[in-house]
Amino acid sequence: MELPADFAFQPLDNDEGTSALATAPAGLGPLAGLAGSWSGQGFNAIWRPHRGTSDHFLELNVTNDRIDIEVIDGQIPNRGLVTAQIFMHGLSYLQQISDANVEINGAPAGLHFEPGVWINIPPTTDPQEPATIARLASIPHGTTILVQGTATTAAGGPSIPAVSLTPFAIGSRNQPVDFDEQHLNRNTQFRTSGVGLTGITQAMLDNPNSVLTRNPPNVTTTTRLHVSTTAGTIVGGGTSNTAFLVGTKDGPNADAAHVAATFWLQTLAGDTEPKRLQYSQIVLLNFAGLSWPHITVATLTKA
């Protein structure tokens, strides 16, 4: 991605009180409503490798979630060889997630730190693609992702499907493997316990997206941003992992093989711009012969 010579971040606030959406360039298209500072709570569930008497551990967290998103000022040119150059527009962001139940040295325990970029991409003829959106992210564990997809806007609130935390054989979703850790009424030492489980219910483990459908407000318009490392017929997308995660002949330590995420940008009754953001993200971590879903969801409001 080539940045313009006069690259700068466009400030989100100004002395006249103009909204971030009002100052965002038209070239951002469906991404324009993301500009701003978002915060709220959510739920995180991750099967992580465990070396010892069990090969896995299920970590569960009620989360505090914050995403600060700033407009990249100016066009972003992409030079072409087989087709003419295109001009994109984008936003930079920083997401930070902490555990709402657990503190370390008097501060909430950190769970996730992610700098990244959202970009709005115009249609192209070679490859033959419609207008798309993409998210580029770096995660300090040793993974970078490029997820690409499309955006749609419709009246009313979001339609949020159920998602499953059940692992399955790599490449075979029709071969699920149920574990005791998925059932709070079963005793196991390989799952979050004690104060860490405060506020976590069996319904959340059965369908993590159920956290997003509690007490829905009156939503007039929803823009759905769906991106994936394998976004159907779209050519782009993928993950890249450090050598430690990928492993060698003995298999991966925890290879982040697939990422899919949906963000629902919502305008509430009485508002003129989106001030509610919900998202659900699934990362498949491959180890021990299975794909283990890592699911993160949250409901955020714009400051």
Per-residue pLDDT tens over the stretch 37-56: 999 999 999 999 999 899 99
Q: Does 181 score more than 70 pLDDT?
A: yes
21-30, 147-156, 275-284: least confident range: 21-30
19-28, 179-188, 202-211, 240-249: least confident range: 19-28
Q: Which residues, listed in sequence order, are joined to residue 276 by a DSSP beta bridge?
A: 266, 301
- Going by pLDDT thresholds of 50, 70 and 90, the confidence category of residue 231 is low
56-67: pLDDT as tens digits: 999 999 999 999
Q: Does 1 score more than 50 pLDDT?
A: no
Q: Does 303 score more than 50 pLDDT?
A: yes
Residues 93-112: what's their mean pLDDT?
94
Q: Does 25 score more than 90 pLDDT?
A: no
> In the prediction, which pLDDT does 23 show?
57
> In the prediction, which pLDDT does 24 show?
64
Q: Does 203 score more than 60 pLDDT?
A: yes
